[in-house]
């Protein structure tokens, strides 16, 4: 279990470093799809979620509240 936690921490740190190396212009050039592909999905994977399994992680889920009509991302099942 500890080895998996260390791997996750290392992967998250790598993603943070990768983001921090981007210039302001590069950050501004990122659109939603590129952000998802390069950072969001790899982050979810690093944290142990199976992003290809819609029973575990779902995008654009209806989640009505007084402010928003959908959630961009929804973690369906907690990791055990």
Task: Enter the DSSP assignment of 39.
Answer: I
pLDDT for residue 1: 57
Domain locations along the chain: 2-75
The three-class DSSP label of residue 62 is strand
| CA 46 – CA 1 distance, rounded (Å) | 14
Does residue 68 have a pLDDT over 90? no
Q: What is the pTM of this model?
A: 0.73
Do residues 72 and 35 lie in contact, with contact meaning Cβ atoms separated by under 8 Å? Answer: no
Does residue 69 have a pLDDT over 70? no
pLDDT for residue 52: 83
Does residue 79 have a pLDDT over 60? no
- CB count in 10 Å sphere of residue 59: 14
What is the rounded end-to-end Cα distance, in angstroms, of the chain? 11
Does residue 77 have a pLDDT over 70? no
pLDDT for residue 59: 72
């Amino acid at each position: 279990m500890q080895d998996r936690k260390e791997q996750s921490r290392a992967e998250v740190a790598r993603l943070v470093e990768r983001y921090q190396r981007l210039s302001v212009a590069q950050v501004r050039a990122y659109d939603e799809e590129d952000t998802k592909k390069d950072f969001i999905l790899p982050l979810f994977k690093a944290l142990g979620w199976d992003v290809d399994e819609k029973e575990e992680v779902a995008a654009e889920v209806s989640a009505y509240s007084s402010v928003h009509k959908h959630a961009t991302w929804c973690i369906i099942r907690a990791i055990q």
